[in-house]
Structure 1
Amino acid sequence: MRPVSVAGIGKTAFGAFPDRDLKSLAVEAITSCLTDAGVGPEAVQAFYLGNFDGPSFTSQNHLAPYVAGAAGISGVPATRFEAACASGGSAFFHAFHAVASGLYERVLVCGVEKMTSQTTARVADILAGAGDAQTESSVGATFPAIFAMIARRHMFEYGTTREQLAAVAVKNHYNASLNPQAHLRKVITMEQALNGKPVAEPFTIYDCSLVSDGAAAILISSAEDSIRVAACAQASGPVALADRSTITSFAATQIAAHKAYAQAGITPRQVQVAEVHDCFTIAELIAMEDLGFVEAGQSGPWVASGATALSGELPVNTSGGLKAKGHPVGATGVAQLCDLVLQMRGQAGARQVKVANLALAQNLGGSGATSVVTILRKP
């Protein structure tokens, strides 16, 4: 396995953009990434696209060459990867191994989703397709309901409180308020988080991520640049909650994390900054436990103590996370990496953390059936 480095990054703002289409969003991110890397489209040897369900959201299929061609990338393999909300992370996982194995010198990964072209009800229906159709979506269980069940069980098993869930939202909204590319740059109070519009018990609207448009891109290469991809691992588990022995942890994340830590030769306690998949507030708490940052059941008190704030022991979701930065599904996994690179370069502005030499991203698909864990290191 050869060393793999980050050559360039690029992102659009995340938000609701009625006048933008999927192609224009992707091209903006790709162009920004190539400019950042100081190369042109001709330098790309393979193009990997992370996208969950562009065909349903936009009625456009065959998306990888559709996007690549619009960005001036032609004549190279162009492939779309779908792994629900982990589509971007999965595309990056395969790109990393393609470069590390010597197959290519430079691979461009783009994640994109255009979601706001559909009604909220239709978006919920499309997203439900990432769950189990037979036992969940066919009986009306959308993802807010599924993660609400997970939250209730976590509360039952460990004593996790609504205030601890709300602490995740308050922290991530504050971080997003400092992020000029975030969808919802709005500071909220604990009282607002607890008393927001009910969605699915125990969730209010402030426990749930956003329906967003956006794109992100990252170019990786075999050149030994300043930020290395120390590890990238992907794992899977049962799609349906009914097929699991527990719903308060995700085996896919635990397996992917174990592999990634072994590849990088580090322990969880060495990580200095992280972007994790907070599609719902409970998902961030479970990620803290599955990644080994704290013991099972301890993430609620840990987050409530301020340990994961910008100035805390381990800053988590300094971008604002999916909760407030936004969650254009296919773009999320790639955007997490871009945000970590900004931290590692010292370019995160008002949300810059003190030390960011070892960073981790966790990108989750569905209700935990896919998980991608990536570790970045500054030599």
Structure 2
Amino acid sequence: MLDLLAEAGVECLEDAGADAMDIEHLYVSNMASGEFEGMTGVMNALAHDLGAMTAYTQRVDQTSSSGGADIYAAWQSIASGASEITLLVGGEKTTHQSTADTTDVIASIAHPVEYKTGVTLPSFAGLTARHYLERFDAPRESLAKVGVKKHKNGVDNPNAQFQKKVNLETVLESPIVADPLRLYDLCPITDGSAALLFCPESVAQEYTDEYAVIAGVNGATDTHVVHEREDPTVMGGVVESGKGAYEMSGYGPEDIDVAELHNMFTILEFLQMKGLGFAKQGEAWELVEEGYMERDGELPINTSGGLKSKGHPLGASGVAQGVEIYEHLVGEAGPRQVESDVGLCCNVGGFGNCVITTIMEAAR
């Protein structure tokens, strides 16, 4: 865990041309280092390993949206004037545990009443996917095409866990996990880390002419008990966090050039597209059929490969979304590059229990 955090932190500082001793605030987004590795206090240990011992440290845990929540916290540290240099590092180490043990830790995100009945997040996703397909008369292939797209994008991401294409037949014939969802509809268990450096724009200009600005960021919470939601296909946390981020930034859905959505299950891409205003209710699957979200489409979504191909290292995922959008805005996304001035990332905790939406724009 610490090795992962330190590697991302060092690379981020080197990329920015900053020194560890310049860090005033150090934030670590992590969901479960205690459960997975029996280690707490990771933020203090990281400060030691980076050589940033004078910095104020804080660990942010908001389950699988920890990374997005930490972007919000790091932005607040700068916006409030409390810090001029804030380093955010997100990470998770899980693959050394068995699949059953890792699934159990992740399932603890659910409400205790749900958890004790054996409910896991894939089961929520399967139930929701079945409801969506039947309610909106969507073909099963539309979900499979989301998986195919993510693997195609992951090929060009050197940091993706899976860098190979899959075809529609492979997805549709993979083992069933939570009907109708199959293996290629779900994200893998992942180790990983990512980092971002935050500072006032005036300070950024001392380092470089190419940087990205947080134009809007907002968080929201939905019902913790999933079956209490009025409509299971509407993620209230996505709707409300997106609304707040749009209002703060002055942008709307039509202004977004590239987006990273939290699609640990293929069905979540459809639900977030609706919640963020990219699609009307029940029509996201039609946009998939039209190629709307492809890299060369109207709105490229998950050019990184998304959580299915890039991987889902829990506490790092929201930070990695921010890194992907940043790279597009400064023109450093390599073969994944999309011409863009404004990007959005949406990081989801649990099954929409808590959500952070961030809008970033290129420096002007």
Alignment TM-score, normalising by the size of structure 2: 0.96
Output aligned runs, 1:165-176, within 5 Å. 165-176=143-154
CA deviations over 1:149-207 (Å, ceiling 9, x no partner) = 11112123222221111111000000001111100111011111111111110011000
For 1:8, the equivalent position in structure 2 comes to none
Once residues 103 and 318 of structure 1 are traced to their aligned partners in structure 2, the CA distance between those partners, rounded to angstroms, is 34
For 2:255, the equivalent position in structure 1 comes to 270
In the alignment, is residue 144 of structure 1 matched against residue 129 of structure 2? no
Unmatched runs of 5 consecutive residues or more in structure 1: 1-21
The offset of 1:139, in angstroms, is: 1.1
Once residues 58 and 320 of structure 2 are traced to their aligned partners in structure 1, the CA distance between those partners, rounded to angstroms, is 19
CA deviations over 1:228-263 (Å, ceiling 9, x no partner) = 110111111112212211211111110010010011
- Of 299, 304, 308 in structure 2, the residue corresponding to residue 319 of structure 1 is 304
Once residues 53 and 250 of structure 2 are traced to their aligned partners in structure 1, the CA distance between those partners, rounded to angstroms, is 38
Letter in 2 for 1:182: A
- Of 340, 343, 346 in structure 1, the residue corresponding to residue 331 of structure 2 is 346
- Of 320, 340, 351 in structure 2, the residue corresponding to residue 367 of structure 1 is 351
Q: What SS is found at the alignment partner of 1:79?
A: strand
Identity of aligned residues (%): 34
In the alignment, is residue 219 of structure 1 matched against residue 197 of structure 2? yes
For the 8 Å contact 1:48–1:92, the answer to whether it is kept is no
For the 8 Å contact 1:48–1:108, the answer to whether it is kept is yes
For 1:101, the equivalent position in structure 2 comes to 80
Q: What SS is found at the alignment partner of 2:201?
A: coil
Unmatched runs of 5 consecutive residues or more in structure 2: 205-210
Once residues 137 and 318 of structure 2 are traced to their aligned partners in structure 1, the CA distance between those partners, rounded to angstroms, is 30
For the 8 Å contact 2:185–2:265, the answer to whether it is kept is yes
For the 8 Å contact 2:21–2:54, the answer to whether it is kept is no
Alignment TM-score, normalising by the size of structure 1: 0.92
In the alignment, is residue 42 of structure 1 matched against residue 21 of structure 2? yes
Q: What is the aligned residue count?
A: 356
Q: What SS is found at the alignment partner of 1:307?
A: coil
Once residues 220 and 41 of structure 1 are traced to their aligned partners in structure 2, the CA distance between those partners, rounded to angstroms, is 13
Once residues 91 and 103 of structure 2 are traced to their aligned partners in structure 1, the CA distance between those partners, rounded to angstroms, is 18
Q: Provide the aligned C-alpha RMSD in A.
A: 1.0
The offset of 1:82, in angstroms, is: 0.8
Once residues 330 and 160 of structure 1 are traced to their aligned partners in structure 2, the CA distance between those partners, rounded to angstroms, is 33
In the alignment, is residue 329 of structure 1 matched against residue 308 of structure 2? no
In the alignment, is residue 126 of structure 1 matched against residue 111 of structure 2? no
For the 8 Å contact 2:151–2:163, the answer to whether it is kept is yes
Structure 1 runs of 4+ aligned residues shifted over 3 Å read none
For the 8 Å contact 1:52–1:84, the answer to whether it is kept is yes
- Of 95, 116, 120 in structure 2, the residue corresponding to residue 116 of structure 1 is 95
Once residues 133 and 176 of structure 2 are traced to their aligned partners in structure 1, the CA distance between those partners, rounded to angstroms, is 18
